[in-house]
Amino acid sequence: MIKGAIFDMDGTLLDSMHMWNDLSKYYLTYKGYEVKENLPKYTDGLNYYETLCGNIRKYIPTMSDEEIIKEAHEYIGHFYKYEVKPKEGAVEFLEKLYNMGVKMCLATATNYFILEPALKRLDMLKYFSKVFTTKEIGVGKEKPLIFDISLEHLGTNKEDTYIFEDALYAIKTAKNNGYKVCAIYDKNEKEQDEIKALSDIYVTDYEDFFKNCKD
């Protein structure tokens, strides 16, 4: 029987990965530009924000990197505060776990000040005893630290606790460190066959968790 749950946020509980993957396009549309081309998320030799700045300057050549990044962050904040939606069935699943007495927390790579308005607007914050972020922890999900800290906080046994994730790299980290993983399908994550093979439970609908949970 599941007694603890550690949830990722983007792509797992929130339908938000499309925004991150196409941030340049969404940001330019938000500013009133029509974008018909596929703008890259990464360009060889450049990091995410350098690629973003290069994409934006194709349309607005006078903007500096600092101005682009500042306004992009403002758009991201607007998206979470007013637009982002939960994944289908996610809120109902959280309610069910909550009523079962399952202890829950969040372990996310997104900064809390960005997430908080969405969690409050969608009335999801009440389900979690704590929100842990990789920025706060100081280590990304390439390492298990955020999962270990989350488990310690919940006070549940590892064998009674599931990590809910959509991203392959985080699923690999969890499985390599002895955690049970329920993978949540997200269309923006391409390596679905490998995710399915690695995970203890793989679902496209949250209700399928209870059909596949054998504990």
Taking only the tens of pLDDT, the chain with its 215 residues reads: 899 999 999 999 999 999 988 899 998 998 899 998 888 877 766 677 888 999 999 999 999 999 999 998 899 999 999 999 999 999 999 999 999 999 999 999 999 999 999 999 999 999 999 999 999 999 999 999 999 999 999 999 999 999 999 999 999 999 999 999 999 999 988 889 999 999 999 999 998 998 777 66
Amino acid identity, residue 141? K
Question: Do residues 115 and 80 touch, judged by C-beta distance below 8 A?
Answer: yes
What are the tens digits of pLDDT across the range 153-163? Answer: 999 999 999 99
What are the tens digits of pLDDT across the range 43-74? Answer: 766 677 888 999 999 999 999 999 999 998 89
Q: Report pLDDT for 45.
A: 66
CA 204, 159, 126, 112 torsion-angle sign: negative
Three-state SS letters, the chain: CCCEEEECCECCCECCHHHHHCHHHHHHHHCCCCCCCCCCCCCCCCCHHHHHHHHHHCCCCCCCHHHHHHHHHHHHHHHHHHHCCECCCHHHHHHHHHHCCCEEEEEECCCHHHHHHHHHHCCCHHHCCCEEEHHHHCCCCCCCHHHHHHHHHHCCCHHHEEEEECCHHHHHHHHHCCCEEEEECCCCCCCHHHHHHHCCEEECCCCHHHHHCCC
**Distant-in-sequence, close-in-space partners of 207: CB < 8 Å, separation ≥ 6:** 89, 93
Cα separation, 79 vs 22, whole angstroms:
13
Q: Report pLDDT for 133.
A: 95
Question: Do residues 64 and 93 touch, judged by C-beta distance below 8 A?
Answer: no
What are the tens digits of pLDDT across the range 131-141? Answer: 999 999 999 99
CA 185, 182, 171, 48 torsion-angle sign: positive
* pTM of the model as a whole: 0.91
Cα separation, 95 vs 205, whole angstroms:
15
* Strand arrangement, sheet containing 180-184: 131-133, 103-108, 4-7, 161-165, 180-184, 201-203
Q: Report pLDDT for 1.
A: 83
Q: Report pLDDT for 46.
A: 66
CA distances from 28 to 20, 115, 149 (A): 13, 22, 38
